[in-house]
Amino acid sequence: MINMDFSQRVVIETAQKDWVDSPMPGVKRKPLAREDAERGHATSIVRYEPGASFRAHDHPQGEEILVLEGVFSDETGDYHAGTYFRNPEGFRHAPFSKEGCVILVKLHQFQEDDRAHVVIDTHTATFQPGQGNLQVLPLHQHGSEQVALVHWPAGERFQEHAHFAGEEIYVISGELKDELGSYPAGTWIRSPHLSKHFPYTEEETLIWVKVGHLPL
């Protein structure tokens, strides 16, 4: 198991981690949290080399993906960098990438009654005003779980706040900061239930964030 104690805060600069081979040639991973080698709860950065493919498979308790680089494809279409999608339990596909891609992928983490199939091109979707000068693009909500992209302008400061049922962040671009450290692009942060922080930015920053989904 890797980082499966949800009471602990985890910070990983993924650019500093080595790629690990997957069972399929040309597909490599950087595991961030993993319950078992090839099944169960998993959060990873995955890279498809040009022409790589994965065998057809199902997704018990769903699959959540944010395409970070390149074009990720399956039988349903081609998904360019910036695409966010959720494939619920019962969805089956054989993914591949003609030109290569890098994705953030979360497996086996849907709530039992969450059956929504979601596909959003975040480059064309409209951000909404958030607190202060933040701009927010909601991606999904189910029960207490909320997922969004948040654009931080340079010099923005947010009030100290607690995370009921935790918070998970991936820094897409720029650098997020708080009283505990600095988090450059490519950093993954998982903060436990009722953890607190006072985030801010000194440069323009874009993050993917999920709240309300971790064990109490």
Taking only the tens of pLDDT, the chain with its 216 residues reads 899 999 999 999 999 999 999 989 999 999 999 987 667 799 999 999 999 998 888 888 999 999 999 999 999 999 999 999 999 988 889 999 999 999 999 999 999 899 999 999 999 999 999 999 999 999 999 999 999 999 999 999 999 999 999 999 999 999 999 999 999 999 999 999 999 999 999 999 999 999 999 998
Nearest to 145 by CA among 67, 209, 188: 209
Q: Which fold has domain 126-211?
A: Jelly Rolls (2.60.120)
16-120: CATH, from 3.70.10.10, 2.60.120.10, 1.10.10.10, 3.40.50.300: 2.60.120.10
- Note the pTM of the prediction, 2 decimals: 0.96
Nearest to 40 by CA among 90, 91, 4: 4
Do the first three CATH levels of 16-120 and 126-211 match, i.e. the same topology?
Answer: yes
Nearest to 97 by CA among 123, 78, 76: 78
- Counts of helices then strands in the chain (DSSP H, E): 0, 22
